[in-house]
Structure 1
Amino acid sequence: MSWDNMPLLIILVLAVIGNNQSVSLAVAGLLLIKLMGCTVWFPYIENHGLNAGIIILTMAVLTPLAQGRVSAGDMLVAFKTQPGLIAIIVGIFVSWLATQGVYFLKASPEATTSLIVGTIVGVCFLQGLAVGPLIAGGIVAIIMNLLNLFTQ
């Protein structure tokens, strides 16, 4: 095994220590792909993995609707409640924030490593979810834009 694998191995160790199965499986999968010599898959995973993950996550969130556990009537009632209205506003804001994160990560790829380290620490030791880099990128983009306003 080459030294090129060391960052992934360190992340795997952190994930195991932090008892985070999703990060452990993701890293183990990437290491397996790399060790099997199937690195031609990496560009596909990089280009389409995020979208595939969001699709699967969205399917999981919508499953109660598909199962009939939540009806259209239940949804309408929820929209009229304070938590329902707040959830709509927060959902709009977070989706916009994630989009800002995508733009930021494309424009500042050097920040990706820092966001990933922060996300791994949050996932492994604070029982967070690995959806953090996009939201974190959006927050960093907003903070950087605010700092740029004050430094000009």
Structure 2
Amino acid sequence: MLGEGILLILILIGVLGHSNILAASACVLLVMKLSNLSHYFDLISRRGLEVGLLFLMLSVLVPFASDEMNFKDMLRGIFSWPGFFCAVGGAIATYMNGAGLSMLKVQPELMTGLVVGAIVGIVVFKGVPVGPLMSAGLAAFFMQIFNFIKG
């Protein structure tokens, strides 16, 4: 019963915060739970991130597949200052995502904090929840800084 209540609260937060992704995700899980499809939760938990990242990567690569971007555009996107900074940002983000994944494997209970932070980011800052790995990567980075300062 607690799970249904939390999902209803998340639906409400998603609707009030204008986050269709949060509301839809909570709705899908609530419908699955109420229709005795909760045995698929483990599958979603294990493979959902991979499927989500697959669709995210597909959406990013569409301009290449649809010929919306030519070779000159690609070179400009790599050999310009903004392109360079994007490449550096991509490398750092990928590294941090790996650190976040490692942290969540060791301490899966920290996912609760990531969910709360994502909800605050969606509702208060009108952010887009593209994935918990970057959030976990930033959290791992902050924890390393905290531990370094703490001694």
Q: Shorter chain as normaliser: what TM range?
A: over 0.9
Give the residue type in structure 2 aligned to 1:32.
Answer: V
In the TM superposition, what is the alpha-carbon distance from 1:149 to its structure 2 partner? 2.4
The residue that corresponds to 1:105 in the other structure is 104
Q: Hey, what's the Cα distance between the residues in 1 that align with 2:147 and 2:2? A: 38
In the TM superposition, what is the alpha-carbon distance from 1:150 to its structure 2 partner? 3.0
The residue that corresponds to 1:14 in the other structure is 13
RMSD: 1.3
Q: Which runs of 5+ in 1 are unaligned?
A: none
Q: Which runs of 5+ in 2 are unaligned?
A: none
Q: Hey, what's the Cα distance between the residues in 1 that align with 2:57 and 2:131? A: 16
Percent of aligned positions that are identical: 30
In the TM superposition, what is the alpha-carbon distance from 1:30 to its structure 2 partner? 0.5
Give the residue type in structure 2 aligned to 1:49.
Answer: G
- CA offsets, 1:46-97, max 9 Å, x none? 0000000000011001111111011223101221111011110001111111
The residue that corresponds to 2:37 in the other structure is 38
The residue that corresponds to 1:126 in the other structure is 125
TM-score by length of 2: 0.93
1:89-104 maps to which residues of 2 (within 5 A)? 89-104=88-103
The residue that corresponds to 2:68 in the other structure is 69
Q: Hey, what's the Cα distance between the residues in 1 that align with 2:81 and 2:45? A: 39
TM-score by length of 1: 0.93
